[in-house]
Each structure stands twice: as C-alpha cells, then as structure tokens.
Amino acid sequence: MAMENIRQWEGSDVVDPDKARIGRLEDVYFDAETDEPLFVTVHTGLFGRHLTFVPTENASLGQGYLQVARYKTEVSNAPQLEPGGDLSPTDEERVFKYYGLDYQPAATESGRRLVRR
C-alpha cells in the first residue's frame, strides 16, 4: 500500500515485522527536500511518555496499523524525544546514524533534513 496517506494513520498502532506492537503513531517526519515520509514518532515507554523515531523505509500500511521494518527491540533503544520537544540538528543526525541510514543535511536554510507536518 502506498505511503502517501500516512498522515491519516496518526494515532494508529505501529507494529514490527512480527506484528509485535511498538506503540502509537504520533507524528510523521518528512524529508525537507523530497517531501517523502522518512520517520514516524511512536509513543513508547511506560505510559507512552517518550516519542521514539522509527524509519518508514520498507514500512507498509495494514488494516488499522503501520508495520515497520525494524523490530521492537531495536526501536526500544532508539533516540527519543520528549513530547512537545523539538529535534535539534545534532539529534537529527543521531537518529539517522542509529538506524544505519546515510545522513546529509538538507540544502535548506535551516539545514534540517526532517520536518514535521
């Protein structure tokens, strides 16, 4: 299923390849230059107090959930953001590197690759 309607899935469950629940989808972060969804943030931890970044690479939309290509154990150690917080340029690079993804700052005024919409 195409990812262009991913914004409609905010609040849905995010599951890993084994369909183990990771958490609830909070936000979608898009590439500032291509407008492609690159990451979602997921409420994780006790009472969903943290927002954890999960790549959308090879993700698919199912019936009421987003299935990502990363396993729950990997996601549980990923960089986190406090609800209502902002992602600094340093944290942005750290998120990419944690998942082994190439990182290049965007050719935008802010230099930020990820934008939340």
Among all chains, which residue has been given the structure tokens 């084994």?
A: 18
Condensed to tens digits (0 to 9), the pLDDT of residues 79-88 reads 887 766 678 8
In a domain, residue 34? The reply is: yes
Cα-based distances in Å from 40 to 28, 44, 73, 84, 109: 4, 12, 17, 15, 23
In a domain, residue 1? The reply is: no
pTM for the structure as a whole:
0.86
In a domain, residue 64? The reply is: yes
In a domain, residue 100? The reply is: yes
Between 106 and 20, the more confident residue is 20
Condensed to tens digits (0 to 9), the pLDDT of residues 58-99 reads 999 888 899 999 999 999 999 887 766 678 888 899 999 999
